[in-house]
Amino acid sequence: MLISTATLDPAFRVARVDRRLFGSFVEHMGRCVYGGIYEPDHPEADSAGFRQDVLELVRELGVTTVRYPGGNFVSGYRWEDGVGPRENRPHRLDLAWRSVETNEFGLGEFITWTRRAGVEPMLAVNLGTRGTEAACDLLEYANHPNGTRLSDERAAHGSREPYAVKMWCLGNEMDGPWQIGAKTADEYGRLAAETAKAMKQIDPSIELVACGSSHSQMPTFGAWEATVLDHAYDYVDYLSLHAYFEELDGDRGSFLGSAYAMDRFIEGVIATCDHVAAKKRSKRRLRLSFDEWNVWYAAGFAAADLGWARAPRLIEDEYTALDSVVVGNLMMSLLRHADRVAIACQAQLVNVIAPIRAEPGRPAWRQTTFYPFALTARHAVGDVLRVEPVSPVYATAQHGDVPVTDVVATRDPETGNTTVFAVNRHQDQPVEVRLDVRALGTTAVVEHLYLGGSDLGLANTAAVPDRVAPRTGSGARIDGGTCTVVLPPVSWTMVRLNSGR
């Protein structure tokens, strides 16, 4: 049997787990808002039109932060269309998704929804068709207490209390040729810096995210980040990363190595941020907002025919057990970089490449990818430990040699309990993982769950919503200071260790 080893020691820690790593994303795209979180005609809708079954699953998923309203959508959005009396709100063309936006759901509805869901809002401003003035207006409307035209308008619209939104994205994917109002790095860097300065004049407590590259394969990746930060470094708090992964041309080995590619991507962006810091002799270290990540079978979407419909079905990918293994592994990559990645948003929350699916009039259900997210959000608590697994490697077409096994662990200093997340990327062989846990003072394995291992093509559907769920593993044990667990081929595993305190 293949063997991998690692040592878990609380003396070696990466950082405290920032709860904002368990964020998600609601875009006005397809049926994420309309027919997703909001469906007034659904039997489970509350008085505000929010689906209660979806809200319950959002809470169960453990989402902490939700980015809104886009995505590509935001680059053509007029936020004013979505506030005030519904009967006055215009229908508009949404150029990003060639849809009709009715504006029935806007900022006020979103803030109310976040409170019912128990999540923190993260708003994006339009730096595509609009600029500093509209961003400042939106911030004044949302966060200024009262006594100005826009803050008084918010009160007249039903919220005397400011929304107090802390996290703001300065546009979306501004390097992408598909983006409405796409910019060069110099154009965007200047605009981001000036908008950041102005927004912080209105509310110095906010935190701002500048756009990094749309993905690591963009021709300007690296140069874009460096130029944008040359302009904006001193005014922003985070730089964004986006990444989507899919199995292309049956190349499963590379797909299973997605988290390895994500590690390299994150490390490249950190290096670029620190390069700019060094040039500026800055003592500040920028943190990262991985505010779009997921598995997305995007190659199929490129050919999709978009028409001018209201809330059309767009990219409602059906996820398999295989996808759940990769999603679980991507979350491990985020945890591993918890010292620099402060925020992460899985894209998106409902229906659109989402862990939660909803059909009109029917109960919502959990996709396979729901489970690794929910288990990680619930059990990755406390400090991320610095784990250096020693693993065999395998060759991939896209990423070179990739370790067969990946391991990440968190330890809660209050309880002393430890959670181990592990992935076996080997396609037909199990791996025995041997963890030296002597420094943890651990006494017992209390839970051992896994996804994948067999039936990798199975998915959950409206008709059979519970086909794929985590299975209880067997045989994980602690003996003489070594915790041993066997990972089935192509699987994601979570093992919880009790400190015995």
- The site for ligand AHR (CB under 6 A) is made up of 27, 29, 70-72, 172-173, 292, 347-348
Least distance (Å) between residue 173 CB and ligand AHR? 5
Reply yes or no on whether 292 is catalytic.
Answer: yes
Cα 208 to Cα 69, 99, 119, 226, 283, distances in angstroms: 16, 29, 18, 17, 18
As measured in angstroms, the least distance from the Cβ of 485 to ligand AHR is: 35
Q: How far apart are CA 482 and CA 3, in angstroms?
A: 13
Catalytic residue among 173, 225, 388, 447: 173
> Which CB atom, from 78 or from 215, has the smaller least distance to ligand AHR?
215
Alpha helices by DSSP H, listed for 209-310, are 223-232, 252-256, 258-279, 298-302
- Residue 367 CA, chain-centre distance (Å), reads 16
Minimum distance from CB of 174 to ligand AHR (Å)?
A: 10
Amino acid symbol at 11:
A
The residue sitting closest to ligand AHR, measured at its beta carbon, is 71
Distance CA 126, CA 363 (A): 34
Q: In the complex with ligand AHR, which residue's Cβ is closer, 42 or 242?
A: 242
- Beta carbon nearer to ligand AHR, 262 or 490: 262
Question: Rounded distance, CA 137 to CA 133, Å?
Answer: 6
C-beta of 215 vs 496, nearer to ligand AHR: 215
Q: Sign (positive/negative) of CA torsion 117, 215, 97, 250?
A: negative
From 39, 120, 140, 292, active-site residue: 292
Nearest distance from C-beta of residue 257 to ligand AHR, angstroms: 22
Q: Of 348, 359, 317, 407, which Cα lies nearest the Cα of 63? A: 348
> Closer CB to ligand AHR, residue 288 or residue 385?
288
State the nearest-atom distance from the C-beta of 9 to ligand AHR, in Å: 38
Tokens 């708090």, located at residue: 237
The Cα 372–Cα 247 span in angstroms is 19
Sign of CA dihedral 384, 385, 386, 390: negative
Q: State which residue, 311 or 408, has the beta carbon closest to ligand AHR.
A: 311
* Gap between the Cα atoms of 258 and 98, Å rounded: 30
Shortest reach from residue 490's CB to ligand AHR, in Å? 26
Query: Taking a C-beta distance cutoff of 8 angstroms, is the pair 296, 246 a contact?
Result: yes
Q: Is 137 helix (H, G, I), strand (E, B) or coil?
A: helix
How far, in Å, are 134, 233, 250, 352 from residue 253 at the CA level? 46, 38, 9, 26
- Enumerate the active-site residues: 173, 292
